[in-house]
Amino acid sequence: MSVLQTSTRPGYTSKYSIAFQGEIGAYSQSAIYAFFGRDNVNEVLPLPTLRQVFQNLVREGSRADYAVVPIENSLAGTIGETLDLLLLSNNVRIVGEVRIPISHALIAHENCSSISKIRRVISHPQAIAQCKEYLDAHDWEQIPVYDTAGAAKMIRDENLEDTAAIASELAAEIYGLQILARHIEDDHSNQTRFIVITSNASSPVLVNSEANDYRTSIIFSTEHKPGSLVDSLSTLSSRKINLTKIESRPMKSRPWEYYFYVDFEGHEKDENCRNALDELKERTIELKILGSYKRA
């Protein structure tokens, strides 16, 4: 799927304002275009932190109709802060997901005449680590900065002609930089899964007869005793509901106790899933349904 595509998901046909974490040109912005289609994005609202994204979404008078946030990377794993914020944020629901390839490009100032002129490379530490083989083949100083798109912005704003950034092709387009090399990541299978969240109860939640075309996300906690987690998850397995993700997160103020984030195939309004959730509610201390949405 191209990150610059202009198609859109069924049910999302208006012009939307969408918040995300990072600088303009971040991979989250590419995820926004991949999900909604570029023509359906009225404005993007970059914010410094994930917490501010969630807070902005529910704030009275907010311009954001939706937010798009990362939830897991195929190499680095789950973004724990996103799970924590989903638990703590009231009136936020997941209404969609999108997965995009994380393809890193080496980008430079438009006045950089050739790759031989590069003396240093800047990017987020994770992006630098994901391009280690390529970078180590060159005699460049590697300097970590706070954000991939922020690195591209620094090259433009500070007129750095001997410095390259590792960032997305979208960042190169936005900041008027040239692409010196594409696909420089060590592992070309690298992908990030993003979720689409909203506080707007009238936002589209699409339901059809194929329940397994959907994914449902929940968070729950159990009694702190042997077998409680297995007992809870049996409500899904006994109904042949496929579990696609489970992640534990520590409870605040209760050391060595955890809540569990779970994804499973199916829609909460499907009878089989609804019965499972009803039974799960009886077997847990707390259960929060985060949303059912079309699988990527």
**Domain end residue (candidates: 132, 167, 198):** 198
Structure tokens at 42: 């009225």
The yes-or-no verdict on residue 84 having pLDDT over 80 is yes
Give a yes or no: residue 8 inside a domain: no
82 classed as catalytic: no
Give a yes or no: residue 1 inside a domain: no
Give a yes or no: residue 287 inside a domain: yes
The model's pLDDT over 218-272, given as tens digits with 9 standing for 90+, comes to 999 999 889 999 999 999 999 999 999 999 999 988 889 999 999 999 999 999 9
The model's pLDDT over 132-183, given as tens digits with 9 standing for 90+, comes to 999 999 999 999 998 999 999 999 999 999 999 999 999 999 999 999 999 9
Whether 35 contacts 196, CB under 8 Å: yes
Residue 189 CA, chain-centre distance (Å), reads 16
Tracing tokens 């390839």 back to the chain, one arrives at: 101
**Domain end residue (candidates: 157, 172, 198):** 198
Residues 43 and 61 reside in one and the same domain: yes
Residue 261's domain comprises 211-294
Q: What is the pLDDT of residue 211?
A: 61
The model's pLDDT over 90-111, given as tens digits with 9 standing for 90+, comes to 889 999 999 999 999 999 999 9
For the residues 175-203, what does the mean pLDDT come to? 90
Structure tokens at 126: 């994770």
The yes-or-no verdict on residue 63 having pLDDT over 80 is yes
Residues 94 and 131 reside in one and the same domain: no
Give a yes or no: residue 153 inside a domain: yes
192 classed as catalytic: yes
CATH number for position 46:
3.40.190.10
Whether 3 contacts 191, CB under 8 Å: no
Q: Which of 35, 36, 54, 194 is catalytic?
A: 194
Residues 39 and 110 reside in one and the same domain: no
**Domain end residue (candidates: 151, 167, 198):** 198
Q: Which of 8, 192, 216, 235 is catalytic?
A: 192
Mean pLDDT of the chain: 90
Distance CA 61, CA 63 (A): 6
Q: What is the pLDDT of residue 70?
A: 96
Distance CA 203, CA 209 (A): 20
Residues 168 and 274 reside in one and the same domain: no
Residues 290 and 218 reside in one and the same domain: yes
CATH number for position 244:
3.30.70.260
Q: How many domains does the chain have?
A: 3
Q: Between vectors from CA 197 to CA 192 and to CA 198, what angle results, nearest 5°?
A: 165
